[in-house]
Every structure is written in C-alpha cells, then in structure tokens.
Amino acid sequence: MNTEEILTIAEQVVSAWDWTSESVRTRPNQLDVKVTSLAELHPAVVGLRVKRLGFLSAIVGLDLGPEANEMEVLYYFCPGDAAIVLRVRVPRQGATLPSLSDVIPSAEVFERELSEMFGIQITGLRNPQRLYLPDDWPDDTYPLRKDFDPSVLLAAAPAAENTPSERN
C-alpha cells in the first residue's frame, strides 16, 4: 500500500455510516480526523485495525490551558509513511476516555502515561496503576498540565524523609 491508498482507505473508514467526525488532509501524507463524538472513537480504531492500518505510533496529550478549559488527545496512527490523527477534545475536569487496549494492546502504556500526566481517566485498563510517576506523588497533580506548579511537590513531601536522623 502506498501513502495515497492508505489515506483513502482511512478516509473511507472514518466517514462510514452517519458519523459526525470530519476528516481533512493537512499534509500530503497526513489525515486529520476530528472525532466529535466519543462514541465514534472506538469503532474508528477497530475500523483502522481491520484495514491493517492499526499501528498506533503514539498518543499525544495537549493541554490547551485553563482559559480554553479543554484538553486535546491525539492518537497518531502511522502505517508506512502516512499519519492518521484522531483528535479528541475533552474537558479539563473529570475527563474520561475509553481504553483502546482491547483492540490495540500497545495502547495500554500510552494511556497509563496520558492518565497520570494529564488527569484523564481511562476506563477499561487491565492495570490502571501509575506507570512513570512515583508512588508518593500527590493525588490530583498532573505534571504536564499548563498550570502545574512544582512547589506542591515540596509541600507534599513527608517531612521526616530527608532528616539526618532518618538517613543515618
């Protein structure tokens, strides 16, 4: 399959039935799909997987800032030279996304990272525990959000941890 064929198939997948998702070619080798309804995310991924375009290269989280009060999640599917991006907008508070790990096993690690770094809850993970952040990381603190303030880490650190008596 060349890049043109890949993108044509991907366009057919995401424009199926009566979906509201819109797709635009932003570059010769890139198809941007705005997933407007969360219910369409999972079927779209299944569709890509069935058409053998299900190589999930990365999931990118973007915090659009407290003013916009929204976050964007980009699912980059990259078969060959092409890139198919599924863009999902979620609110900054109480966002929930379905896990894709039942269709694409490698999505699990990306989703666990997304969840702990941006505070987006992922439903349906085999192991929803933290992947990267330490066990004593304060709750409801998401480091890749724009308004993250590192000083909360100092406040949250247990006082006894680094005292000389403890160390010796």
Partner 1 sequence: MPDTAASKRFTVPIGPQHPALKEPGHFEFTVDGEIVTNAYVRLGYAHRGIEKAAESRNWVQNLYLLERVCGICSHIHGFAYSLAVERLANIEAPPRAQAIRVIVAELERIHSHLLWMGVSAHEAGFDTLFMYSWRDRETIMDVLEGLTGNRVNYSANVLGGVKFDVTPTQADIIRKGLTFLEERTKHYLDVIMHDTMFLQRTRGIGVMTRSQAEVMGALGPTARASNVQRDLRVEAPYAAYKDFPVQMVLDTRGDLEARFEVRINELFESYRLINQILDNLPEGELNVRVPRRIPAGEMIVRLEAPRGEVFYFIKSNGTDKLERLKVRTPTICNMTSVVRLSVGHQLADVPMILAGIDPCFSCNDRTVQIRQADGGAQPNGLSSLMSWEELRQYAIRKYEAR
Stretch that binds partner 1, among 6-14, 17-25, 35-43, 123-131 (CB under 8 A): 123-131
In this complex, which beta carbon is closest to partner 1, that of residue 25 or of residue 130?
130
Question: Binding marks (x or -) toward partner 1, 56..75, rule CB under 8 A?
Answer: xxx-xxxx----------x-
Binder of partner 1 out of 94, 140, 155, 168 (CB under 8 A): 155
What's the 3-state SS for the chain? CCHHHHHHHHHHHHCCCCCCCEEEEEECCEEEEEECCHHHHHHHHHHHHHCCCCCEEEEEEEECHHHHCEEEEEEEECCCCCEEEEEEEEECCCCEEECCCCCCCCHHHHHHHHHHHHCCEEECCCCCCCCCCCCCCCCCCCCCCCCCCCHHHHHHCCCCCCCHHHHC
Q: Does 108 bind partner 1 (CB under 8 A)?
A: yes
Q: Does 34 bind partner 1 (CB under 8 A)?
A: no
Q: How many residues make contact with partner 1 (CB under 8 A)? A: 41
> Which residues in this chain contact partner 1 in the complex, by CB under 8 A?
52, 54-58, 60-63, 74, 76, 78, 80-81, 83, 104-106, 108-110, 127, 129-134, 143-144, 148, 154-155, 157, 159-164
